[in-house]
Amino acid sequence: MKRVKDIVCFGGGNALPKALLIGLKNYPVNLTSVASMFDSGGSSGQLREDFNVLPQGDIRRHILALSGAPGWKKKLWNFRFGREKFKGGHRGHSFGSVFLAGLEYFLKDYRKTLSIARSFMKVKHRTLPITTDKVNLAAELEDGTIIEGEDEIDFPKKHNPNLKIKKLFLKPRAKIFPDTKKAILKADLITIGPGDLYSSIIACFLPEGVKEALKKSKAKKIFICSAMTKLGETKNFSVLDFVQEVEKYLGFPLDYVIYNTEIPEKKRIKEYKGKEKLFLDLVGIDPLVNSGQAEKKFIGRNLLVKAGPIIYDSKKVAKIILGTCRQ
């Protein structure tokens, strides 16, 4: 394989920046991170409803992770204003979200919005939306129930979270952002994950033109499986369950799958679950994944940080990804 130069990263607004972007951004590569743009809850949801702008939460986090700005700007980007209390325990609107929403509202041009934000936050790489169409995420559950809104999928309130998601779709339909399509077709490597399987990752495959661009792209496609399962989306999932769902929506097989093999102490897991109420258990590892038959596609490693939350060490993940693609 030729030397990796252009990398496109799909993933969650919380997981991807910490697990991959921070570790990759200092390598001699051109990074493009892709955000889903379907948030319907919290601060992003309220700004979206009040001003008819795109939800800015995920793309705001991607910009921060890729930022080379001084410390005060990064603190300002996350600084929150207001007394409104949103799910997850945060209050008010972050400066970054308001900044992006305000630019979009007045400029009516998302390319200009991102260009100004990129300059302000000293971002060498790029963050792009999967679409700029204002649409909502919806899902059909295994009992036939239809739920609407990314927020309801991500934080189950009105439906039984133990029911599996049968089908994910958009209402109404949307089209891929042209710049994102170009980035996919130019890429040498495409990473998918980590992040919430349906509300962050598979959601990115739904706009028209995405799957076609990914299939046409000659880039190697690597899936980074999450460390833990989540209520409402991946309860009792194994590595293969994740992979099968991703490949079902992609319509073609992945080239590589990277997954975590480290089993932390029970106390550490308990403490993490106490803070992150929706996370359930470690993702199961299937016998096939550990077999010689699958060893070329499935790469198991200790991906976790040494202590604290059950999250990935971005330096470990970046090193494995780049090392794998030079084989």
Residue 203 lies in a domain: yes
Mean pLDDT, range 235-258, rounded to an integer: 96
* Listed residues 82, 100, 123: the one ending a domain: 123
pTM: 0.94
Q: Are residues 87 and 211 in the same domain?
A: no
As a whole number, the mean pLDDT across the chain is 92
Is the separation of the CB atoms in 51 and 101 below 8 Å?
Answer: yes
Phi first, then psi, for residue 223 (nearest 5°) are -100, 130
Q: Does the structure show a pLDDT above 50 at 257?
A: yes
**Residue 91, domain extent:** 38-123
State whether residue 174 is helix, strand or coil: coil
**Structure confidence at residue 52 (pLDDT):** 94
Q: Are residues 324 and 202 in the same domain?
A: yes
**Structure confidence at residue 294 (pLDDT):** 64
Q: Are residues 322 and 190 in the same domain?
A: yes
Residue 271 lies in a domain: yes
Q: Are residues 46 and 15 in the same domain?
A: no
> Total domain count for the chain?
2
Q: Does the structure show a pLDDT above 60 at 89?
A: no
> Do you find a cis peptide bond into 194, omega within 30 degrees of 0?
yes
Q: Does the structure show a pLDDT above 70 at 197?
A: yes
Q: Does the structure show a pLDDT above 60 at 128?
A: yes
Q: Are residues 305 and 217 in the same domain?
A: yes
Burial of 108 (0-12, 13-18, 19+ CB in 10 A): exposed
Question: Residue 235 is part of a domain; what is its CATH number?
Answer: 3.40.50.10680
**Structure confidence at residue 1 (pLDDT):** 46
Mean pLDDT, range 165-172, rounded to an integer: 96
* Partners of 75 in beta bridges: none
**Structure confidence at residue 88 (pLDDT):** 55
* Listed residues 123, 148, 169: the one ending a domain: 123
Residue 82's pLDDT band (cuts 50, 70, 90): confident
